[in-house]
Amino acid sequence: MPQGIPDTVPRDGLTTRQRRNRPLLVVHTGEMKGKSTAAFGLALRGWNQGWSIGVFQFVKSAKWKVGEEAAFRALDRLHEQTGQGGPVEWHKMGEGWSWARKHGTAEDHAAAALEGWREIARRISEQRHEMYVLDEFTYPLCWGWVDLDEVLTVLGHRPGRQHVIITGRDAPPALVKAADLVVEMTKVRHPMDAGQKGQRGIEW
Task: Using the predicted structure, report yes or no on whether residue 199 has a pLDDT greater than 70.
Answer: yes
State how far the Cα of 21 lies from the Cα of 76, in Å rounded to an integer: 25
* Tally of structural domains, the chain: 1
- Highest mean pLDDT: which range of 5-19, 97-111, 145-159: 145-159
Specify the higher pLDDT residue, 116 or 13.
116
- Bigger pLDDT: 204 or 130? 130
Distance CA 143, CA 145 (A): 6
Mean pLDDT across the stretch 103-130? 89
- Give the pLDDT band (50/70/90) at residue 65: low
The answer to whether residue 135 scores a pLDDT higher than 50 is yes
Task: For residues 51 and 152, give the distance between their C-alpha atoms in angstroms, rounded to a whole number.
Answer: 23
Confidence of residue 24 (pLDDT cuts 50, 70, 90): very high
Q: Is residue 193 part of a domain?
A: no
- Say if CB 139 and CB 132 are below 8 A apart: no
pLDDT of residue 64: 58
Domain presence at residue 64: yes
Domain assignment of residue 171, yes or no: yes
d(CA 17, CA 31): 35
Using alpha carbons, list the distances in angstroms from residue 53 to 4, 132, 173, 189, 194: 25, 6, 27, 32, 37
Q: In which band, very low, low, confident or very high, does the pLDDT at 100 lie, cut at 50, 70 and 90?
A: very low
What CA–CA distances, in Å, run from 19 to 11, 24, 106, 169, 177? 11, 11, 43, 29, 19
In a domain, 103, yes or no: yes
Residue 190 lies in a domain: no
User: Is residue 28 situated within a structural domain?
Assistant: no
Helix H or strand E encompassing 24: none
Rg, C-alpha atoms of the chain: 18
CATH classification of the domain holding 158: 3.40.50.300
Q: Is the pLDDT of residue 17 over 80?
A: no
* Pair 60, 135: CB distance under 8 Å: yes
Please give the residue range of the domain that contains residue 75: 35-179
What average pLDDT score do residues 145-174 get? 97
Q: Is the pLDDT of residue 99 over 90?
A: no
d(CA 15, CA 28): 28
Residue 20 lies in a domain: no
**What is the value of pTM for the model shown?**
0.89
Give the pLDDT score at 105: 72
- Residue 10 located in a structural domain: no
